[in-house]
């Protein structure tokens, strides 16, 4: 378990963690442990956002939370989202689309997608901070945990790697479906417990988790059909899609 946590924090955050094992079993355990990374990074981002919202208002608080998450991950998931948008938007065969995704530059589809997703996240989080700093903080934490929970589903057995090299090939197909479901259930229980101060509204947070995972599943299905498998970029795009979907669900299911 220690090796799995090292792998998870070493690959999914800026935290300086020595990774000793890179084998596929460890990679699979790391993807199952990814929500722990989301919990830690989400707590930092939630605290930054709540403090800023308390002192400067909901919108600056939302910007602070989104910026903190981006900084704590080196923009890893956002980069993957932009690359996948360029690959899907290119309309080219799988091999050519994967080559476009691997390039270091960013195309118009990537720019537009990044802009819309980040503006959407900021607007949705600002709405939650508009209710209270605590409510906004819990929304940020929900989004961060949901994003990392989606990684386990993207790496479940039966989902192939789109190409032989890279992080995607290292983690693709390493997670048993029942294990991903168990992690999802644990995350849902955790979010329910965190939302207990809101009474019956506590169920909105696990509902947001499931909604976000549903959005990520739709993207995964599209990418597997389009690219014939997953890459590290696809996993990053799934994380951002899951986070945004969970925030949107919170706004719809439990409007402030």
The predicted-structure confidence for 205-254, as pLDDT tens digits, reads as follows: 999 999 999 999 999 999 999 998 899 999 999 999 999 999 999 999 86
**Domains in the chain, number:** 1
Q: What pLDDT, on a 0 to 100 scale, did the predictor assign at position 241?
A: 97
pLDDT for res 198: 85
Give the C-alpha separation, 209 to 193, whole Å.
13
- Taking only the tens place, the pLDDT of each residue in 16-61 is 777 777 778 888 899 999 999 999 999 999 999 999 999 999 999 9
CA atoms within 13 A on the CB side of 109: 14
3-state SS track over the chain: CHHHHHHHHHHHCCCCCCCCCCCHHHHHHHHHHHHHHHHHHHHHHHHHHHHHHHHHCHHHHHHHHHHHHHHHCCCHHHHHHHHHHHHHHHCCCHHHHHHHHHCCCCCHHHHHHHHHHHHHHHHHHHHHHHHCHHHHHHHHHHHHHHHHHHHHHHCECCCCECCCCHHHHHHCCCECHHHHHHHHHHHHHHHHHHCHHHHHHHHHHHHHHHHHHHHHHHHHHHHHHHHCCECHHHHHHHHHHHHHHHHHHHHHHCCC
pLDDT at position 253, please?
A: 82
Distance CA 160, CA 21 (A): 22
Mean confidence (pLDDT) of the chain: 91
Contacts of 128 (CB under 8 A, 6+ apart): 135, 136, 138, 139, 140, 247, 250, 251, 256
Residue range 3-28, pLDDT digits in tens: 788 888 888 898 877 777 777 888 88
pLDDT > 90? residue 100: no
Over the stretch 179-192, which tens digit does the pLDDT of each residue have? 999 999 999 999 99
pLDDT over 70 for what percent of the chain? 99
Please say if the pLDDT value at position 256 is more than 60.
no
Token look-up 């994380």 returns 239
| pLDDT given at position 17 | 78
Task: Yes or no: say if 253 and 207 are a contact pair by the CB < 8 Å rule.
Answer: yes
Q: Which domain holds residue 124?
A: 2-253
The pLDDT value recorded for residue 255 is 60
CA dihedral 93, 97, 99, 105 (to 10 degrees): 150
The Cα–Cα gap between 208 and 204 comes to 6
What is the value of pTM for the model shown?
Answer: 0.94
Percent of the chain's residues with pLDDT above 90: 69
Does residue 167 have a pLDDT over 80?
no
What digits encode the pLDDT tens for the residues 151-161? 999 999 989 88
Average pLDDT over residues 131-138: 95
- pLDDT for 192: 94
């Amino acid at each position: 378990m220690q090796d799995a946590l090292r792998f998870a924090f070493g690959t999914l955050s800026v935290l300086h963690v020595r990774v000793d094992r890179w084998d596929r079993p460890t990679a699979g355990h790391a993807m199952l442990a990814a929500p722990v990374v989301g919990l830690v990074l989400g707590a930092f981002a939630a605290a930054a956002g709540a403090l800023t919202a308390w002192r400067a208002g909901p919108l600056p608080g939302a910007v602070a939370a989104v910026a903190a998450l981006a900084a704590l991950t080196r923009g890893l998931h956002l980069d993957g989202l932009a690359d996948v948008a360029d690959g899907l938007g290119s309309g080219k065969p799988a091999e050519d689309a994967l080559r476009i995704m691997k390039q270091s530059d960013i195309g118009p589809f990537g720019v537009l997608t990044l802009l819309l997703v980040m503006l959407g996240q900021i607007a949705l989080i600002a709405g939650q901070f508009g209710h209270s700093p605590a409510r906004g903080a819990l929304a940020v934490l929900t989004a961060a945990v949901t994003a990392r929970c989606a990684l386990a589903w993207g790496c479940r057995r039966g989902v192939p790697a789109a190409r032989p090299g890279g992080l995607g090939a290292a983690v693709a197909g390493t997670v048993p479906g029942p294990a991903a479901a168990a992690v999802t259930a644990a995350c849902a229980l955790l979010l329910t417990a965190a939302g207990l101060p809101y009474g019956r509204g506590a169920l909105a947070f696990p509902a947001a988790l499931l909604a976000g995972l549903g959005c990520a599943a739709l993207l995964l299905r599209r990418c597997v059909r389009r690219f014939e498998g997953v890459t590290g970029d696809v996993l990053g795009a799934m994380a951002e899609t899951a986070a945004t979907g969970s925030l949107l669900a919170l706004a719809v299911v439990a409007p402030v």
